Amino acid sequence: MNAPIKFSAEILAAKNAGLPIVALESTIITHGMPYPQNMETARIVEQDIRDAGAVPATIAIMDHHIHVGLEPDELERLAQAREVAKLSRADIAFAITSGKTGATTVAATMICAHLADIQVFATGGIGGVHRGAELSFDISADLAELAQTPVTVVAAGAKAILDLPKTMEVLETSGVPVIVFGQDALPAFWSRDSGLPAPLRADTAAEIAAAHKMRARLGLPGGQLVANPIPLASEIPASTLAPHIAQALTEAETQGISAKNVTPFLLSRIFELTNGNSLTANIALVRNNAKLAAAIAQELN
């Protein structure tokens, strides 16, 4: 394969030195958080990964290339940009050829990470099956990507705005292992407990890395989803969030929000309805995921 990849100076050096690398997505920067917290968070999370002994590779599409690792000015440009496309598997090739700036979702980041030979990726929450999907058919392409691209994705579970039982069913049917870190309950993004059981549980980064390697030895396609609970001090109880989620979902329906706009709309409404508390929690959980991903990357090395 001959993908148009542009590595940052830091990632080139890391590759030459054989250091562990953790991929980071960019949709969380452009569509998941408001400016300037999005840029501050992107920088802090990158530093968390360095402090934990790995090298961060934030991924985005710019200037006809897949950028693996963003230079500081590129990160700033992306965080401030308006009209950035949200890119999933369906859009990524077209975005590169048309020269547009695009932010990669979990699905697109997995594709780019794999092309760049990076096996671990940290984010906040993956996309999943939306509530009412039996009518809307709105199922995130993140799930199909986990079923086919061999990257271990560390998230805090699927976002609580989704239909979690249906999301778990689709993951199971697609053969995606969901490994909960350190507890028996599946976490739900802003909350530690979704009320659903953990399909699999690991208590160390080494166990997760070993399972990743074993999947390759068995010739199994696809990645792993690691569900890492938000730190206790930062969680928002599910009961506090439930009415805000319900209100945001009703508004999305009344306003006819659909397709790619659903997730960004819900996240920004919940941010407003919780007076910013959802963002504080979101930042804490992404940082927590970055640290675990760095530990897994070191074990894989």
Site for ligand PSU in 104-123 (CB under 6 A): 105-106, 123
Looking at the Cβ atoms of 53 and 264, the one nearer to ligand PSU is 264
CA distances from 168 to 82, 186, 298 (A): 34, 10, 28
Comparing every residue's Cβ against Mn ion, the nearest one is 138
* 165 vs 237 by CB, closer to Mn ion: 165
Q: Which one of ligand PSU, Mn ion, none interacts with residue 67, CB within 5 to 8 A by kind?
A: none
By CB under 5 A, the count of residues binding Mn ion is 1
Under the binding rule (CB under 5 A), the answer on residue 138 touching Mn ion is yes
Residues labelled as active-site residues: 25, 159
Least distance in angstroms from the C-beta of 167 to ligand PSU: 11
- Smallest separation, CB 27 to ligand PSU (Å): 3
> Is position 282 an interface residue for ligand PSU (rule: CB under 6 A)?
yes
Token code pair at residue 257: 């929000």
Burial of 135 (0-12, 13-18, 19+ CB in 10 A): exposed
Q: Which residues bind ligand PSU (CB under 6 A)?
A: 25, 27-28, 31-32, 105-106, 123-125, 127, 140-142, 260, 263, 267, 282
